[in-house]
Amino acid sequence: MDAGKAIFETVDKLRQRRTAPLVLELDLTEGLTEGPPADPLAAVLSMRKTRLADVLSGLKRARQDPRVKALVVKIGGNPLGLAMVQELRQAVIHFRASGKLTVAFGETFGEFGGGTVPYYLASAFERLYLQPSGDVGLTGVALEQRFVKGALGKLGVGYEAGQRHEYKTAVNTFTQDHMTDPHRESMARIVESVTESFVAGIADGRRLDPGKVRELIDRGPFTASEAQEAGLVDGLAYRDEVYAEVKAAAGEDSHLLYVSRYARGAAVRKLPQPMTDGVALVHGHGMIKTGRSGRSPLGGGGAMGSDTISAALRAARRDEHVKAVVFRVDSPGGSYVASDTVWREVVLTRKVKPVIVSMGDMAASGGYFVAMAADVIMAQPGTLTGSIGVYGGKPVLSEMLSKIGINSEMVSEGANAGMFSTSRGFSPEQWERVNAWLDRIYDDFVNKVAKSRDLSRERTHELARGRVWTGADAQARGLVDELGGLEDALALARKRAGLAEDAPVRTYPRLNPLERLRGPESSEDRSAALARIRLDAWGPLARLSAELGLPAAGPLLLPAWYIIR
């Protein structure tokens, strides 16, 4: 009898749980992952991380779900990229517009450090709470670059490089000891554009005058009590107090559920029919390289391999049930040849079905190259894009080697056989070849942008020259079509393809376990898009990077110090 009663009570609790009000929860202290795992190692490393796509789709569905009463988000110290933050802000604003409660909680927004980006995210919520011991590091935007030319000179290391053109500044850290005028101009405009986004967003979210927000930025950082007095936060409270208030507002019988679990649960309950028409989502993340995508077990993050992305686009293109493709690009660039390979597959795919590019935190240099042929390019205001240019060169180590007693001799046949040796500089004839290579790549890049974006060659050159733009500035200049996030891109893809608003989205390549185990039959096989674990830490330029002490880089690359977090 007691056992039957226990079973009945358990079933009753489960029933109540299925019908009780929901408070969706999101913990950003560990950050978010951009896309699905690219390889087995990435799957292990991201096992406990929440996917951005799950958060976006979950919040979109929750707007129409009467069970969902509120959203509470803990914003932590793990930095998120600016464009990802803007995607989250947009999703929160839409969720808030549905009449549901949104609450943000932070232990601190910068502990003796900057916290402008996380605070910018928090300002989108209806209620904003800060732990009494916390701070609001609303200090503005700063981009800083260090120049190592002087240090390399003391070591006896020279650097010979060419660039197209004056705004292609990735190599300046080795060839200059200060910012050139174009370099400073470009970075100053990025800081200005990002600040404009911050001021507008914070002013709107906190119901403050934009002029007041700029004044507060100049006064920051703030202690907790100062932040509350300035209207930057609604209250000072600990986590238990915040969560108790949210649950009381949602109903005492409400329970918490992570947004990602809510989204995945909905996906399980609404599994699409195997042959349903839908949209393919292809993720291109990391530095662009030839070969297959992957991640090094020694570090260095993931890479976008041209073979992997090309195979995914081919598979989506040939699937008769895929009616449109969304290509999510989050990359600083890399190899010109690899970028051109992916560009060609985008061109071929666009001939048979719509291709929409959704840009993440950055889609610059090679990242812009792979995106430019799409029907529509969408970016966030804070996406870093453009950087239409090229650079190339090498370190010259002869003086350093001489200082430590190393002599290098070479035996070769062919006038330029030793051209890329780091023990000697380029000859005048070899510089001619370097410049011819740079001119060819730059001309190809600019011409393809002009054709893809329906611009004149002259206008494209004005916008190019290696200059980095924010998404907002790129959209104003015709390099980007629309401002928006991944959900906007998926909605547009469905509309362009004539699909229903809830048509399924499938990540490509889609492989069953058997296909993963047996490997590809040919380069046309879907399983050719499988990523791999790289055995090198630095990619195809490991040898050159090791000699210089730098990470691997292709000729179309945006420097990491541009990233705003």
**How many Å apart are CA 449 and CA 83, to the nearest integer?**
23
Q: Say if CB 89 and CB 128 are below 8 A apart.
A: no
Q: For residue 72, what are the β-bridge partners?
A: 25, 103
Instruction: Give, for all 565 residues of the chain, the pLDDT tens digit.
Output: 566 655 555 544 555 556 789 999 999 988 888 866 555 555 555 556 788 999 999 999 999 999 999 999 999 766 789 999 999 999 999 999 999 999 999 999 988 778 999 999 999 999 999 999 999 999 999 988 889 888 888 888 988 888 888 989 888 888 898 999 999 999 999 999 999 999 999 999 999 999 999 999 999 899 999 999 999 999 999 999 999 999 999 988 899 999 999 988 765 555 555 678 999 999 999 999 988 887 544 444 578 999 999 999 999 999 999 999 999 999 999 999 999 999 999 999 999 999 999 999 999 999 999 999 999 999 999 999 999 999 888 888 888 888 888 888 888 888 888 888 888 889 989 889 999 999 999 999 999 999 999 999 999 999 999 999 999 999 999 999 999 999 999 999 999 999 999 999 998 866 555 445 555 656 665 555 555 544 443 344 444 444 444 444 455 666 655 556 5
Q: How, if at all, do strands 222-223 and 482-483 pair?
A: unpaired
Residue 377 is encoded by which pair of tokens? 């390019």
Classified as helix, coil or strand, 523 is coil
Residue 558 sits at the vertex; the CA angle it makes with 287 and 369, to the nearest 5 degrees, is 70
- What pTM, to 2 d.p., does this model score? 0.86
Residue 99 is encoded by which pair of tokens? 């009449």
Q: Cis omega (within 30 of 0) on the bond before 509?
A: yes
pLDDT of residue 154: 87
Q: Say if CB 326 and CB 495 are below 8 A apart.
A: no
Helix (H) or strand (E) holding 186: helix 181-206
**How many Å apart are CA 94 and CA 153, to the nearest integer?**
54
In sequence order, what are the residues at sequence separation of 6 or more whose Cβ sits closer than 8 angstroms to the Cβ of residue 303?
286, 287, 288, 289, 293, 294, 295, 334, 534, 539
- DSSP for residue 464: -
Q: How, if at all, do strands 101-106 and 127-130 pair?
A: parallel
**Exposure string over 520-539, b if 16+ CB within 10 A, otherwise e:** eeeeebbbbbbbbebebebb
Residue for token pair 């077990």: 297
Q: 238 vs 126, 216, 242, 243, CA distance in Å?
A: 18, 24, 6, 9
